[in-house]
Amino acid sequence: MQGPVIGVLALQGAFEEHQKCLEQVGCRTVQVRTPQDLQGIDGLVLPGGESTAISLIGTNMRCKDTNKTMWMCLQDFCHSKPTWGTCAGMILLAEKCVGASAVIENGQALIGGVDILVCRNYFGSQISSFEMPTPVPPGCNKDDKPFPGVFIRAPAILSVGPDVDVLGRVTATPCRQAASVLNELERKIAAGENVVQMSVAVGDDDTKQACERKSRVPSDASVIVLPGASSTTDARDVICAVRRDNLLCTAFHPELTNDYRWHDYFMRMVQDSLEE
């Protein structure tokens, strides 16, 4: 029996590494560069890379048959089929994001669908990349060795909505810029200031309208709760892996290891969806 066909968005980032891992666990893979490439695949991986660069590259692509933009086609796909975002790919799926200033962008996602608040570059710049033990995916024995989480300019998930399942947490100290932003954000929240602004993703008018129209999660910004910081190290208990229905997010890069457990877990998500 042949394995499922999983596409890997190949606009920018570590798409070939994901392909190799998926093929190791029995999947067939294709590179996705145009809306037409989404046809005939059973699942999709949005790889790590640079989320802004990925968004700019895909903005002007359109489906020949429907004239929909690449991002509109991706939204349609992710609405019903298994999709996994790693690092930058997770940012594309997140509904809320905080970056270089103490403001939460709501509705910022080009794809969206996962009610999470993400802090961009929580772990620092490229030269601050590191590896640390992270929880194993569901279905693994809890006594198994931890998964080697590779964090490269990685985001962290600060909070999740009620319909999002938390699959993994780590305790980690934010980089200096992220710590400053989060401290200022906490001060504003405590003072009752409005820290949420509506944001529109990069793209043409059709893409912007699609982002506003296709959001699948309720926008409730009235309560923002951030993970508390240690008084001695400033470390916070942040989330590194979540799932919402058919959407999976990891802040780290499983494709840069020789451990295929997360790729096997996603393959099982895809197989389960084909049996429904």
Q: Which of 119, 249, 255, 263 is catalytic?
A: 255
CA distance 107 to 92: 11
User: Would residue 253 show up in a list of annotated catalytic residues for this protein?
Assistant: yes
CA distance 122 to 48: 15
What's the Cα-to-Cα distance from 149 to each of 30, 123, 170, 198, 250, rounded to whole Å? 25, 12, 10, 32, 10
User: Would residue 16 show up in a list of annotated catalytic residues for this protein?
Assistant: no
Q: Which amino acid is at 108?
A: Q
Q: Which of 78, 249, 253, 263 is catalytic?
A: 253
Q: Which of 87, 119, 211, 240 is catalytic?
A: 87
Asked if 119 and 200 count as a contact pair (C-beta separation under 8 A), the reply is no
CA distance 4 to 201: 31
Asked if 246 and 273 count as a contact pair (C-beta separation under 8 A), the reply is yes
Q: Which residues are catalytic?
A: 87, 253, 255
